[in-house]
Amino acid sequence: MAIADKKVAFLLTRGVEEVELTGPLSAVRGAGAQAVIVSPWDDGPLTALNSDWHKGEDFEVDVPVIAAKAEDYDMLVMPGGTLNVDNLRTSAPAVEFVKAFFEAGKPVAAICHAPWMLAEAKLAQGRTLTSYHSIKQDLLNAGANWVDQELVRDGNLITSRSPDDLAVFDKAIVQELESLG
């Protein structure tokens, strides 16, 4: 299957950290794959934030999470943003969507605060990962092996710490897509 045949779900809500969405979106689209925004919020555009405070661009939802199925996608990308991920953690359909990717053994990439979803979905146990430093303890409490590195791969899971690591994170996403059969 060519990279042009790949379909990547981006799971987010309002308050997504803009560069953590636009960087990976551009990388995926630039590689020729299809990027699809999936969200529990389907009643209008999602407003991104910059540094959790400043209003950014608006993004349209392509598929409501209740209608999305992991089997329709080759990979899941979860951008961060404190408000974004805190909202996602309270959405049972979003948590189930994430779980479905792991159950299917499909690649999942999460940056900054997005690994919080792994704790919520009870998927952090025994995983080596990284995240923004402020959620380190939450991930340790969920049983993760947290490390302070710009990029960590653990099986089908790719994690990064912050927007400072986006170049490496974006490259890892594209490499993962290229490696899929």
Q: Which are the catalytic amino acids?
A: 112-113
Residue 147 CB neighbour total at 10 angstroms: 14
CA distance 89 to 4: 31
Partnered with residue 50 across adjacent β-strands are 54
Q: In the block, which residue shows the tokens 């948590």?
A: 95
Six-digit token string for 46:
């999602």
Spell out the residues 6+ positions from residue 142 whose beta carbon is closer than 8 angstroms to its own.
118, 119, 122, 124, 125
Angle value at C-alpha 116, between 133 and 89, nearest 5 degrees: 145
